[in-house]
């Protein structure tokens, strides 16, 4: 399938020669579409946008929704005011948004887990933190990726015109000094000290081993004075086995000093004791909703059981970083967004017909979610989080939730810091607002019948054989079909297809993909645990006849 270029999708962007997608792409709201299955994996929402803090990315001055720091204030400090490690910069200079690792590193440094005495050099600290970072379970790493996405979105919102221009600074330097300019850009290759000779190599190795040791101790949960003494023991040649043998903590084994590939998260996760930064503590277990009833501040209950915290399947599909998952497909049509007010205003009693207005004739290949006033779309003052391209999240709220409800269901990473879960199963929406790979642990009710919630396996399964290859997860735009990027293996490169009827034994387990720009409806068969999705119109026809009281 030929790649769809951005300009094929954004015909109006031809003057936009910066190579970036438009900040507000395709304001033409007459566009119609079906759905995505693979857009944004994180959605967060606040009914009170004023509660938001600008500058969440700027963790040194703000905590915003993301608790980067211990400082609770939420100032709107200008970037230029921020003096970054003594580097003198122009007052108008806008730094890059931090990535996940940089955020993690900053938080780590601030948390002072490694005493100054143990290591005060930031270059060395970077090494240690880098090693430690590599041991983070995916769940924890995702938290930082999520923060980075927030930082990126807010940075973009604050500085809409900012672009990363590598070398622009080097050019300025070139003016001042005759040093290496862009003509000869190369990372400085430590010219000092003979690194070639055997002695310095040996020294480097022992230094590196020390870093590895510190990282290992951190993984074991040792910090502060404990870390210091453990390290001293190690440096004095006291083997760690002896110390463990003395019988303190039941560690599972010798940490891997040579920094091999750890790969298997669940092996390391349940037994290791990563230091807990506040924002990491109460994460729901996205891969086993049944375990994750926490999101509380009481500090009790969760993670306290002997059950493994991590049930992550060992599967390549789950190694896609959030930041990558957020990347918008070039072939994706422009996204439009409904304000929370719109959604709330229409939730509760809207029938499927209300939502999909143009589905009467058959078979229209697209439908328009008429329930959301188009003029409300892409309103950054009401939508909150966005993807890496600055596109804010589409929101689909469950019915039955009030304006003051914490956005629990749409906030799997609890970026909003909801104080409590939204109700229990009895408070559940009529639909399961599932998202991949996290699934809301709710059943789905239609009329008097309650369907079980879809399984994670079903949601994340490799495209089932019995679904026409590439045909069932399409993106449709202006009656044309485009392939789409998908974080889920084998679910991309779709063409348009539709379901006319459900096959025998196919229970219409319906849920809405909250990451879709329009409600995407899926069917799930408990018989063979497959999922299928189709054009809303066709599904609409099916479901309207079967479930007239279908509610959003």
Partner DNA sequence: ATGAATGAAAG
Partner DNA sequence: CTTTCATTCAT
State the minimum distance, in angstroms, from the CB of residue 276 to DNA. Answer: 20
State the minimum distance, in angstroms, from the CB of residue 211 to DNA. Answer: 9
3-class secondary-structure state, position 521: strand
State the minimum distance, in angstroms, from the CB of residue 359 to DNA. Answer: 37
10 Å Cβ neighbour count for 503?
A: 12
3-class secondary-structure state, position 321: coil
Residue in the structure block whose two tokens are 């600055």 = 390
Q: Which residue, 253, 255, 256, 233, is CA-closest to 245?
A: 253
Between 126 and 293, CB nearer to DNA = 126
Between 243 and 493, CB nearer to DNA = 493
Taking the C-alpha atoms of residue 105 and residue 39, their distance in angstroms, rounded to an integer, is 28
State the minimum distance, in angstroms, from the CB of residue 163 to DNA. Answer: 5
State the minimum distance, in angstroms, from the CB of residue 488 to DNA. Answer: 18
Between 126 and 445, CB nearer to DNA = 126
Between 67 and 523, CB nearer to DNA = 67
Cα-Cα-Cα-Cα torsion 317, 321, 325, 328, nearest 10 degrees, comes to -140
Residues in touch with DNA (CB under 7 A): 18-20, 60, 82, 84-86, 95-102, 105-106, 109-110, 121-123, 125-127, 129-130, 133-134, 141, 145, 148, 152, 163-170, 180, 182, 185-188, 190-192, 321, 323-324, 327, 388
Between 264 and 548, CB nearer to DNA = 264
State the minimum distance, in angstroms, from the CB of residue 349 to DNA. Answer: 40
State the minimum distance, in angstroms, from the CB of residue 170 to DNA. Answer: 5
Between 20 and 457, CB nearer to DNA = 20
State the minimum distance, in angstroms, from the CB of residue 514 to DNA. Answer: 22
92 token code pair: 């108008």
10 Å Cβ neighbour count for 72?
A: 8
Taking the C-alpha atoms of residue 480 and residue 1, their distance in angstroms, rounded to an integer, is 13
State the minimum distance, in angstroms, from the CB of residue 529 to DNA. Answer: 32
Instruction: State the number of CA atoms in the 13 A half-sphere of 4 facing the CB.
Output: 22
State the minimum distance, in angstroms, from the CB of residue 98 to DNA. Answer: 5
35 token code pair: 């759905």
11 token code pair: 């015909």
Between 34 and 388, CB nearer to DNA = 388
Between 154 and 342, CB nearer to DNA = 154
Q: Which residue, 478, 487, 430, 488, is CA-closest to 458?
A: 488
Between 155 and 532, CB nearer to DNA = 155
Asked whether 220 and 231 are in contact (CB, 8 A), the reply is no
Between 85 and 246, CB nearer to DNA = 85
State the minimum distance, in angstroms, from the CB of residue 151 to DNA. Answer: 10
Between 134 and 257, CB nearer to DNA = 134
10 Å Cβ neighbour count for 164?
A: 9
Instruction: State the number of CA atoms in the 13 A half-sphere of 521 facing the CB.
Output: 28
Between 178 and 404, CB nearer to DNA = 178
Between 168 and 457, CB nearer to DNA = 168
Taking the C-alpha atoms of residue 19 and residue 5, their distance in angstroms, rounded to an integer, is 11
Q: Which residue, 521, 539, 531, is CA-closest to 490?
A: 531
**344 in the Ramachandran plot: left (φ > 0), alpha (ψ -120 to 50) or beta?**
alpha
Between 129 and 382, CB nearer to DNA = 129
State the minimum distance, in angstroms, from the CB of residue 229 to DNA. Answer: 24
Angle between helices 100-111 and 138-158 (to 10 degrees): 110
State the minimum distance, in angstroms, from the CB of residue 259 to DNA. Answer: 9
Taking the C-alpha atoms of residue 508 and residue 157, their distance in angstroms, rounded to an integer, is 40
**414 in the Ramachandran plot: left (φ > 0), alpha (ψ -120 to 50) or beta?**
left
Asked whether 26 and 10 are in contact (CB, 8 A), the reply is yes
Taking the C-alpha atoms of residue 420 and residue 291, their distance in angstroms, rounded to an integer, is 15
State the minimum distance, in angstroms, from the CB of residue 285 to DNA. Answer: 22
DSSP E strand stretches across 87-221 = none
| φ, ψ dihedrals at 71, nearest 5° | -85, 120
Residues 6+ apart with CB under 8 A from 177: none
> What residues form DSSP beta bridges with 445?
450
Asked whether 533 and 476 are in contact (CB, 8 A), the reply is no
The end-to-end CA distance of the chain, in Å, is 36
């Amino acid at each position: 399938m030929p790649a769809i270029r951005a300009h094929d999708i954004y015909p109006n962007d031809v003057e936009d020669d910066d190579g970036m997608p438009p900040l507000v792409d395709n304001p033409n709201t007459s566009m119609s579409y079906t759905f995505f299955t693979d857009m944004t994996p994180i959605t967060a929402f606040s009914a009170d946008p004023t509660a938001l803090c600008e500058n969440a990315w700027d963790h040194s001055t703000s905590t915003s929704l993301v608790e980067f720091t211990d400082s609770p204030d939420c100032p709107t400090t200008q970037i230029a005011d921020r003096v970054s490690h003594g580097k003198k910069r122009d007052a108008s200079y806008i730094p890059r948004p931090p990535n996940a690792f940089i955020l993690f590193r900053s938080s780590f440094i601030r948390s002072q887990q490694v005493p100054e005495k143990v290591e005060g050099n930031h270059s060395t600290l970077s090494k240690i933190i880098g090693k430690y970072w590599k041991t983070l379970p995916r769940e924890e790493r995702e938290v930082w990726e999520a923060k980075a996405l927030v930082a990126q979105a807010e940075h973009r919102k604050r500085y809409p015109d900012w672009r990363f221009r590598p070398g622009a600074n080097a050019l300025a330097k070139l003016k001042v000094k005759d040093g290496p300019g862009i003509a000869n850009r190369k990372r400085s290759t430590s010219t000092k000290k003979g690194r070639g000779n055997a002695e310095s190599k040996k020294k480097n190795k022992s230094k590196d081993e020390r870093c590895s040791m510190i990282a290992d101790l951190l993984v074991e949960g040792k910090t502060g004075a404990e870390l210091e003494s453990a390290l001293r023991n190690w440096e004095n040649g006291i083997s760690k086995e002896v110390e463990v043998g003395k019988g303190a903590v039941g560690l599972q084994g010798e940490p891997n000093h040579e920094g091999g590939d750890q790969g298997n998260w669940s092996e390391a996760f349940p037994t290791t004791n990563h230091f807990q930064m506040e924002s990491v503590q109460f994460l729901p277990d996205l891969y086993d909703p049944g375990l994750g009833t926490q999101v509380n501040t009481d500090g009790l209950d969760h993670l306290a059981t002997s059950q493994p915290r991590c049930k992550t399947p060992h599967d390549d599909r789950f190694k896609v970083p959030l930041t990558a998952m957020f990347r918008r497909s070039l072939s994706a049509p422009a996204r439009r967004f409904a304000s929370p007010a719109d959604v709330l205003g229409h939730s509760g009693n809207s029938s499927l017909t209300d939502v999909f207005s143009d589905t009467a004739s058959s078979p229209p290949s697209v439908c328009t979610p008429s329930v959301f006033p188009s003029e409300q779309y892409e309103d950054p003052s009401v939508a909150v989080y966005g993807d890496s391209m600055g596109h804010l999240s589409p929101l689909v709220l469950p019915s039955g939730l009030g304006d003051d409800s914490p956005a629990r269901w749409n906030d799997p990473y609890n970026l909003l810091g909801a104080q409590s879960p939204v109700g229990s199963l009895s408070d559940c929406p009529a639909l399961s607002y599932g998202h991949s790979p996290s699934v809301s642990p709710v059943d789905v009710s239609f009329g008097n019948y309650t369907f079980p919630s879809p399984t994670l396996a079903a949601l994340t399964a490799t495209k089932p054989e019995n679904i026409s290859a590439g045909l069932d997860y399409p993106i449709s735009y202006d009656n044309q079909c485009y392939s789409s990027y998908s974080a889920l293996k084998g679910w991309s490169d779709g063409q348009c297809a539709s379901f006319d009827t459900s096959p025998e034994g196919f229970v219409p387990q319906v849920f809405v993909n909250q990451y879709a720009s329009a409600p995407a409806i899926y069917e799930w068969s408990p018989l063979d645990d497959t999922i299928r999705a189709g054009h809303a119109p066709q599904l609409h026809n099916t479901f309207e006849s079967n479930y007239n009281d279908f509610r959003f």
